[in-house]
Amino acid sequence: MIKKFDKKDEESGSGSNPFQHLEKSAVLQEARLFNETPINPRKCLHILTKIIYLLNQGEHFGTTEATEAFFAMTRLFQSNDQTLRRMCYLTIKEMANISEDVIIVTSSLTKDMTGKEDVYRGPAIRALCRITDTTMLQAIERYMKQAIVDKVPSVSSSALVSSLHMVKMSYDVVKRWVNEAQEAASSDNIMVQYHALGLLYHLRKNDRLAVTKMLNKFTKSGLKSPFAYCMLIRIASKLLDETEGGHDSPLFDFIESCLRNKNEMVVYEAASAIVHMPNCTARELAPAVSVLQLFCSSPKAALRYAAVRTLNKVAMKHPSAVTACNLDLENLITDSNRSIATLAITTLLKTGSESSVDRLMKQISSFVSEISDEFKVVVVQAISALCQKYPRKHSVMMNFLSNMLRDDGGFDYKRAIVDCIISIIEENPESKETGLAHLCEFIEDCEHTVLATKILHLLGKEGPRTPQPSKYIRFIFNRVVLESEAVRAAAVSALAKFGAQNDDLLPSVLVLMQRCMMDSDDEVRDRATFYMNVLQQKQKALNAAYIFNGLSVSIPGLEKSLHQYTLDPSEKPFDMKSVPLATTPISEQKSDITPMATSKIQDKLTPSRQDIYQEQLAAITEFQSLGPLFKSSDQVQLTEAETEYVVRCIKHTFARHMVFQFDCTNTLNDQLLQKVMVQMEPSESYEVIQYIPAATLAYSQPGSSYTLVRLPDDDPTAVSCTFSCTMKYLVKDCDPNTGEPDDDGYDDEYVLEDLEVTVADHIQKVLKSNFAAAWEEVGDEFEKEETFALASVRTLDEAVGNIISFLGMQPCERSDKVPENKNSHVLFLAGVFRGGHDVLVRARLALADGVTMQVTVRSGEETVVDVILASVG
């Protein structure tokens, strides 16, 4: 039997795989041997192995042939050969989903599971649970309960783990075994402890109180299993996170005490848990960091990796806490495991000083080609962070990045580099030309459409304003000749921007456009024709509106409006101004650098916040005549955080009205509120038209009440107003447990904080990517200028911040960033005033004792200019 494969081996040499040329049909043919009497255990064992091997290689078994083999296999239960029986269990598990009527072996398995042979019992339970469904589970419930508390560890563990698998399927049945699991948790065997704890947590995880009790019990009793300790630490940190428990809680103490555990696995788990806690102070981090520091010099690669990976995470938020480990990290730079070396370097880049950057960059470039894409992304992100920290180093970085861009790599890696270069260009004007040159070179040979279009867009935006715009034309036109439709279309748009901005290039651009009009793709042709016609007019205003600044409306909103228009045909042309504007993101969300997270979450086009509100408000009949929603403000808190009722307000602005949406939450579990409304007393000539109360407000279920206000028609400059607010409602006491209210109630009221409406509520942010063009487009017909002294402001940064938040307009051309050590600055702001009038503000700021500000406002409507200036004054 030892030479069982020899025959085949002779054919194909001694190193070959005896299973290599297995034929499914031949193996199934052999399986007939199972029916022979007496059973030959060795031969049968070998056939079963072949079947499992084939299944493992991904061979497809049809239902009929699988069922046939399965039924033949059941005969093998007559043999008492131990290994053969165990292989039968494996076959049952492997075939559970392929073969039909697998439940035929239930009785054999039940016999084995309750039999005398301990070797069979554990595996039999696991095989049985694999083929059992909810209805049959009831039948074996008694055996399962016994097995969980069995004194043989393998039986108990098998029963616990199988129960855990079945929780998904039959929670209600498994829930009844809680007491048995509890008993198993106090077993002496470490694995049984671990499995019991896992099952108990799974059954109780929705009951926070039970979890807390369980934690208390186990943290005190002291478990023996390191796995169970790790599990406890995870449960404890999750509970801490959910309850927002302070770091003086006993749970935190428990986790900290685990830092002194004998087992490295537990120590690391505890350190990692502390590091991942939000709002950890440097002092709380210190013990965790110091154990990680110790691990850095461990001979085990996995431990070094774990430690440096976790330190890397700490360095993102608390670089100073990791500085103490710099020496140990330096040693890891030369680690033979490149993943460890990369993590060490990127951590050092975060904690190190400016002087060490050059050295580290040199070191990293020596092996960047050897590491995986995932880590290359980590490196790029570290560089990106570094560029923000030390802008002076941009030339070193840019050089490095361009070298990386030339190497092979996947999409995520290339995208990270391109994003990083773009952010450097935007931060440092002096790096613009080299950066653009690198990107131009990159798109010459770029297989990723998304990146190519992104770069073309950037070239169109930045290229025309460089000293030598003509040199980019060649790169862009090459795309038109060589690339796919999407890239060609993007290239055409970029070309148009050059033509619009550089008069001397215009004739050549027009010639190129003409060629694009012959393109095989209709989108490319359409764009070329459109731009051609716009450019030929040679009008600055047209260029600004249709080439530089594009549409500023929200796309879902536009879709809806157009749909509405086609449903209801009228003589009137479609009015763009009736479409709600796109809300520009308030600040670009800098996503935390989480290289370890799987990037499987796809970016979906989600409707913006405002589109959601628009939908909600349109559903209320009273608001349907108000027209499109112009702007929704952020939430304003009208109560303290820890009060009986929590009220937040959102201000919705329409063309002539405002709607105040009060989101109220009742935090008293013995009260039911009804007919909740917020009464508002305006200080100016605003007129409250209607209240729409929230019908009921049950405990902890938020509800909304609305107040509709008409804006004053006669005085358009009255844009700011203060409202005093009172919440009025009918209280019904109710039973805290059942929520059953009394029949009678009484009226009550609750005074809220005052609500302010300011000029910012009337202006929607709009990004004009080319401010100068927009400035020309609006023209100086209604231009006004005034000078103010801001005495209370000490720095330009502060002044810029104040103006932006006060006017609620979008800073353009990155003018919200004040260069260091400058005494003057120009801020460009763009927005749309309620009613659809573009408004642009240019504020020249000069720093003397205080800040002097000269504000120039342009708009298509005179009153708007007055409103802005009046409100600034």
Partner 1 sequence: MVCLLLLQEPTLYTVKAVFILDNDGNRLLSKYYDPELYPSMKEQRSFEKNIFNKTHKADNEIAFLEGMTIVYKGSIDLFFYVVGSAQENELMLMSVLNCLFDSLTHILRKNVERRCLLDNMEGVFLVVDEIIDGGVILESDPQQVLQKVNYRADENPLSEHSVAQHITEKLALTSNVLQSAKEQIKWSILK
Report the nearest approach of partner 1 to the CB of residue 633 (Å). Answer: 25
- Residue 268 CB, nearest approach to partner 1 (Å): 6
DSSP string, 116-175: S-HHHHHHHHHHHHHH--HHHHHHHHHHHHHHHT-SSHHHHHHHHHHHHHHHTT-HHHHH
Return the number of the residue (372 or 665) whose C-beta is nearest partner 1.
372
The tokens 């651009």 sit on which residue? 509
Q: How far apart are CA 147 and CA 136, in angstroms?
A: 17
By CB under 8 A, the residues from 437 to 476 that bind partner 1 are none
We find the least distance from the C-beta atom of residue 272 to partner 1, in angstroms, to be 7
| Best CA proximity match to 362, nearest among 318, 393, 325 | 393
DSSP string, 306-359: HHHHHHHHHHHH-HHHHGGGHHHHHHHTT-SSHHHHHHHHHHHHHHS-GGGHHH
Q: How many residues touch partner 1 (CB under 8 A)?
A: 81
Q: Which of 124, 159, 235, 672 binds partner 1 (CB under 8 A)?
A: 235
Three-class DSSP labels, 269-302: HHHHHHHHCCCCCHHHHHHHHHHHHHHCCCCCHH
Q: How far is the CB of 312 from partner 1 (least distance, A)?
A: 12
Q: Which amino acid, one-letter code, is at 470? A: S
Q: Comparing C-alpha atoms, which of 34, 128, 132 is closest to residue 84?
A: 34
Among 34, 177, 218, 227, binds partner 1 (CB under 8 A): 227
User: Whose Cβ is closer to partner 1: residue 125's or residue 812's?
Assistant: 125
Q: Least distance (Å) from partner 1 to the CB of residue 282?
A: 19
In the set 75, 234, 471, 844, which binds partner 1 (CB under 8 A)? 234
Q: Which stretch binds partner 1 (CB under 8 A): 227-235, 621-629, 717-725, 843-851?
A: 227-235
Q: Of residues 414-433, which lie at the interface with partner 1 (CB under 8 A)?
A: none
- Distances 192 to 156, 157, 186, 196 between C-alpha atoms, Å: 7, 5, 9, 6
Does 230 bind partner 1 (CB under 8 A)? Our answer is: yes
Least separation in angstroms between residue 6's CB and partner 1 is 9
Interface residue with partner 1, options 511, 518, 601, 619 (CB under 8 A): 601
Stretch that binds partner 1, among 587-595, 715-723, 769-777, 802-810 (CB under 8 A): 587-595
Is 599 one of the binding residues for partner 1 (CB under 8 A)? yes
Shortest reach from residue 254's CB to partner 1, in Å: 14
Site for partner 1 in 156-195 (CB under 8 A): 157-158, 161-162, 164-165, 191, 194-195
The CB-side HSE value for 594 (13 A sphere, CA atoms) comes to 8
Indicate whether 374 belongs to the interface with partner 1 (CB under 8 A): yes
User: What is the smallest separation between the CB atom of 293 and partner 1, expressed in angstroms?
Assistant: 17
Question: Which positions from 14 to 43 touch partner 1 by CB under 8 A, shown as an x/- string?
Answer: xx-xxx----------------------x-
Q: Is 96 a binder of partner 1 (CB under 8 A)?
A: no
Nearest distance from C-beta of residue 279 to partner 1, angstroms: 12
Nearer to partner 1 (CB atom), residue 283 or residue 600: 600
853 binds partner 1 (CB under 8 A): no
Residue 282 or 302 with smaller CB distance to partner 1? 302
CB of 241 to partner 1, least distance (A): 6
| Contacts (CB under 8 A) with partner 1, residues 377-396 | none
Q: How many residues does the chain have?
A: 873
Count the alpha carbons within 13 Å of 524 in the hemisphere toward its beta carbon.
25
Among residues 64, 290, 369, 594, the one that binds partner 1 under rule CB under 8 A? 594
The nearer residue to partner 1, 198 or 556, going by C-beta atoms, is 198
- In the block, tokens 């995470």 appear at 313
Please give the residues from 60 up to 89 whose contact with partner 1 meets the rule CB under 8 A: 82-83, 86-87
Peptide bond into 38 cis (omega under 30): yes
Residue numbers 120-149 binding partner 1 by CB under 8 A: 122-123, 126
Count CB-CB contacts under 10 A for residue 407: 12
| Min separation Cβ 259 and partner 1, Å | 14
Pick between residue 556 and residue 595 the one whose CB is nearest to partner 1: 595
Does the footprint of partner 1 cover residue 49 (CB under 8 A)?
A: yes
Shortest spacing between CB 251 and partner 1, in angstroms: 13
Quick check: 522 binds partner 1 (CB under 8 A)? no
Name the residue nearer to partner 1 (CB basis): 591 or 823: 591
Under the binding rule (CB under 8 A), the answer on residue 258 touching partner 1 is no
739 φ/ψ sector (left φ>0, alpha ψ -120 to 50, else beta): left
Tell me the β-bridge partners of 838. 832
Residue 366: HSE in the Cβ half-sphere, 13 Å Cα cutoff: 11
Supply the angle between the helices 264-276 and 250-257 in degrees, to the nearest 10. 140
Find the binding residues for partner 1 in span 354-373 (CB under 8 A).
Answer: 372
145 and 162 Cβ atoms separated by less than 8 Å: no
Nearest distance, CB of residue 28 and partner 1, angstroms? 18
Residues 280-339 that bind partner 1 (CB under 8 A): 300-303, 305-306, 336-339
Structure tokens at 376: 């290359």
**Sign of the dihedral through C-alpha 718, 720, 722, 725:** positive
The residues near 800 (Cβ < 8 Å, ≥ 6 apart) are: 811, 816, 818, 825, 827, 845
Helix (H) / strand (E) element for 459: namely helix 449-462
Q: Report the residue from 276, 448, 675, 784 that binds partner 1 according to the rule CB under 8 A.
A: 276
The owner of tokens 């203060």 is 722
The single residue among 26, 139, 576, 596 that binds partner 1, judged by CB under 8 A, is 596
CA distance 175 to 405: 56
Residue 76 is classified by DSSP as G
Q: Specify the residue, 309 or 479, whose C-beta has the smaller distance to partner 1.
A: 309
Interface residue with partner 1 among 79, 110, 154, 724 (CB under 8 A) is 154
Q: Does 268 bind partner 1 (CB under 8 A)?
A: yes
Q: Does 206 bind partner 1 (CB under 8 A)?
A: no
Helix axes 506-516, 485-501, angle to 10 degrees: 160
> Taking CB under 8 A as the rule, does residue 97 contact partner 1?
no
Smaller CB separation from partner 1, 355 or 602: 602
CB-nearer residue toward partner 1: 296 or 306: 306
- Where would I find the H helices in 607-719? 609-618
Judge whether 396 and 358 are in contact, CB under 8 Å: yes
Q: Which is nearer to partner 1, 245 or 801 (CB)?
A: 245
Stretch that binds partner 1, among 171-179, 475-483, 493-501, 588-596 (CB under 8 A): 588-596
Q: Which residues contact 401 (CB under 8 A, 6 or more apart)?
A: 380, 383, 417, 420, 421, 424, 438
- Give Cα separations from 412 to 451, 484, 598, 747 (angstroms): 10, 20, 12, 60
